[in-house]
Amino acid sequence: METENVFEIESPRVAFVTMGCAKNEVDTQRMQSQLTRCGFAIEQDPEAADAVVVNTCSFIQSATEESLEAIFEVAGMPNVTAGAALIVAGCMPARYGQDLESELSEASAFVPCSKEDDIVQVIAQALGIDQARLERMKAAMLGAVPEGAVAINGSRAVSAYVKISDGCDRFCSYCTIPYIRGRYHSFDYETVRADVADRVSEGVKEIVLIAQDTGRWGQDFEDESSLAWLVGTLADEFADTWFRVMYIQPEGITDELLHTAAEHDNICSYFDIPLQHVQPSILKAMHRKGSREEYESLVERIRRIVPEVTLRTTLIAGFPGETEEDFDELCDFVEEGFFDYIGVFAYSREEGTRAYDLPDQVDDDEKAYRAQRLRDLADDVCTPLVAARVGKAMNVLIEGREEDGQLFGRAMCQAPEVDGVTYVDNGEPGNIVQVTITDTLLYEMEGE
């Protein structure tokens, strides 16, 4: 690939195309931050960039296919065919390694998750920037960009994800994450705090703490710590900022965490607890613990300590060995109305996982049917719970305006991207306003 001439320009422009979940978005921000501090410019239009990084997702097969499509789309862009670098980063190189490299000749370089801290060197090399020039670019940026800040064409967000750990040790039998992201490792408190402080100084009003397994934070330190301590300490220091924690496995819901949430007005009384199933034999085959009774008493314990709590979960339909009776039991559990929001996925058979080889795989059509039935049931159960909020007073963080000028935001009971929004009639993005809920439509709310 011809790259020499690209470097005559002052600040090489790097664009990112990010696939997958919020955790990948955080990784993209981290790479952007490193590049910005080294004198690269973050470009929003991939067709105008000197290098395009596709940060891929390959958690499941459909995500891999979408990432491949994104790679081929970027490979066909005029700037890339004319010599701009195409870098493939993230989960795909981590999962497929050498096989991917030998099949994707369009890419200039591959950066698996574990090597994302090398992004500056990789892009510099792909663009033919030598060490002396890189040092000059870095020197020119000294003091110009605060540590950790992301400057993307001046855009401002009022809500930001902060990752508190990476990897996972649970090895659920259907999941590729431990193979892609490696063993669980908490980020130390100073790193998380610095990240939060940067976001708050940029005007962010809500911090969403994420990881593959947030509830385990701190348990791998020599001096063991806890998620409750982390979120409580951050909420004390940044008292005007909302804190929300996503992806807490059932074992991570400790009384300490619940009391910490109950005692802080700025910690959202919102817990996202992936259960995946309720039938013990299926949970065992998933290499997970629990049962319907255990989960019911978990919900009862949560509501006792945090009465106004909002609960979200995710469920998998059509896992190998799931009989019609097992599925009916899952439906019964959903009908109990323990959860305000439920995400449903059809089981995806992933090569390299233990569940791939399990007997009694459920037929694809049947999996899709069960998943849709569960989604419909969840809508029937959950949307009346949203409607029951009419008349309640809630604080809403205003996030922005629709194209027609309508203001929208989210209440503490709505997590970003998954739970809908609240429409309000007054205020500015970044304001937290108190409204009374006047109407709802499915998962959306309206407040005055």
Residues near ligand SF4, by CB under 6 A: 168, 170-172, 175, 177-178, 212-213, 249
Smallest distance from the beta carbon of 167 to ligand SF4, in angstroms?
A: 8
Smallest distance from the beta carbon of 227 to ligand SF4, in angstroms?
A: 14
Closer residue to ligand SF4 in complex, CB, 253/381: 253
Closer residue to ligand SF4 in complex, CB, 43/272: 272
Rounded CA gap, 232 and 266, in Å?
10
Which DSSP symbol is given to 218? T
Residue 113 in marked binding region: no
Are the C-beta atoms of residues 246 and 414 closer than 8 Å to each other? no
What backbone phi and psi angles, to 5 degrees, belong to 197?
-60, -40
Helices (DSSP H) in 351-434: which residue ranges?
364-387
Smallest distance from the beta carbon of 50 to ligand SF4, in angstroms?
A: 35
Closer residue to ligand SF4 in complex, CB, 118/251: 251
Closer residue to ligand SF4 in complex, CB, 172/257: 172
Which DSSP symbol is given to 276? B
Smallest distance from the beta carbon of 212 to ligand SF4, in angstroms?
A: 4
Residue 168 in marked binding region: yes
Residue 175 in marked binding region: yes
Rounded CA gap, 68 and 297, in Å?
43
Q: Is 254 helix (H, G, I), strand (E, B) or coil?
A: coil
Rounded CA gap, 388 and 385, in Å?
5
Closer residue to ligand SF4 in complex, CB, 172/210: 172
What is the chain's percent helix, strand, coil content, to nearest 5? 40, 20, 35
Rounded CA gap, 170 and 173, in Å?
9
What backbone phi and psi angles, to 5 degrees, belong to 165?
-165, 170
Q: Which residues contact 223 (CB under 8 A, 6 or more apart)?
A: none
Smallest distance from the beta carbon of 113 to ligand SF4, in angstroms?
A: 13
Closer residue to ligand SF4 in complex, CB, 79/212: 212
Strand order from edge to edge, sheet including 41-43: 41-43, 13-18, 51-56, 85-90, 109-112
What does the block give as tokens for 327?
């599925």
Q: Which residues contact 382 (CB under 8 A, 6 or more apart)?
A: 337, 339, 340, 341, 342, 443
Smallest distance from the beta carbon of 284 to ligand SF4, in angstroms?
A: 14
Smallest distance from the beta carbon of 186 to ligand SF4, in angstroms?
A: 14
Q: What is the largest CA-CA distance in the chain?
A: 67
C-alpha 260, offset from chain centre: 23
Rounded CA gap, 93 and 87, in Å?
11
DSSP 303-360: HHHSTT-EEEEEEEES-TT--HHHHHHHHHHHHTT--SEEEEEE----TTSGGGG-SS
Smallest distance from the beta carbon of 168 to ligand SF4, in angstroms?
A: 3
Closer residue to ligand SF4 in complex, CB, 46/250: 250
Closer residue to ligand SF4 in complex, CB, 25/43: 25
Closer residue to ligand SF4 in complex, CB, 171/221: 171
Residue 21 in marked binding region: yes
Residue 57 in marked binding region: yes
Smallest distance from the beta carbon of 59 to ligand SF4, in angstroms?
A: 8
Binding site for [4Fe-4S] cluster, residues? 21, 57, 91, 168, 172, 175
Binding site, residues? 21, 57, 91, 168, 172, 175
